Amino acid sequence: LEEAAFQLQQIFRIDISIALNILGIESMRAGHCRVAFTCFKLAADRGYSKAQFNVGLCYEHGRGTEKDLEKAGFYYCQAASSCHPMAQYRYARYLLQHGPGSHWDRHHKAVTLLEQAAMAGIAEAQAYLGVFYMRGLQPQEKRGLKYLLLAADSGDAQSRYHVGVCYEQGLGVQQNLTEALRHYRQSAAAGNRQARERLRA
């Protein structure tokens, strides 16, 4: 009976968190940012990762509460530790730009989180890693191209442009102007200005 009661408490706790998070989303859509933040915070403090991510967004952008990047980082970290892919991406960006600790530790942890988010299909993480590996102190062009292709296939026009640059210049792949043009055209068709300029050139 004790086990059954515990299970019911867990289900009830999760259901309330889900309901609070949904209420927060609906409140945010209606423009009631303070109410939304309160709902997200209640659910986040119950350990619900989607709400923790939403609280992070609120703190990062100052919606429904004062802007506070340190608190945003804290809540992104909480959600990321529950394998929330977008929180992994946001927390990695926070670590690279504002995080505490040594540069090397932050850098290593951020790259690990970015790779997890990228493998979970987060196009922003794929694009970020692609450029990161291409432009790093020790460029890893093949690895960078792999992530740029993933982001491009997810519909990111800027990454598609970068793939074109890789084919044009032979970065991580054998130089192939026909392939470069194909990627530039796709990127330009999706509205990328740099790709249009590159095609004219």
**Tens digits of residue pLDDT in 113-133:** 999 999 999 999 999 999 989
Stated pTM of the model: 0.81
Domain with CATH 1.25.40.10 in the chain: 1-120, 122-200
Predicted confidence band of residue 16 (pLDDT cuts 50, 70, 90): confident
> Is domain 122-200 classified as CATH 1.25.40.10?
yes
- How high is the pLDDT of residue 126? 95
pLDDT at 137: 61
State residue 14's pLDDT score.
64
The single residue listed with the structure tokens 């300029």 is 197
Q: For residues 58 and 37, is the Cβ–Cβ distance under 8 A?
A: yes
- Rg of the Cα trace of the chain? 21
Query: What does CATH list as the number for 1-120?
Result: 1.25.40.10
8 pLDDT higher than 60: no
- Closest Cα partner for 128 from 184, 80, 164, 89? 89
* CA separation for the pair 201, 197 (Å, rounded): 6
SS3 at position 116: helix
Q: What is the mean pLDDT of residues 57-79?
A: 96
How many other C-beta atoms lie within 10 A of the C-beta of residue 104? 8
Identify which of 11, 64, 18, 6 has the alpha carbon closest to the alpha carbon of residue 44.
18
The structure tokens 């090397």 sit at 104
- pLDDT the model gives residue 182: 95
- As a whole number, the mean pLDDT across the chain is 90
Residue 83 has pLDDT above 90, yes or no: yes
Phi/psi for 57 (5° steps) reads: -60, -45
Q: What is the pLDDT of residues 137-178, one digit of tens each?
A: 677 899 999 999 999 999 999 999 999 999 999 999 999 999
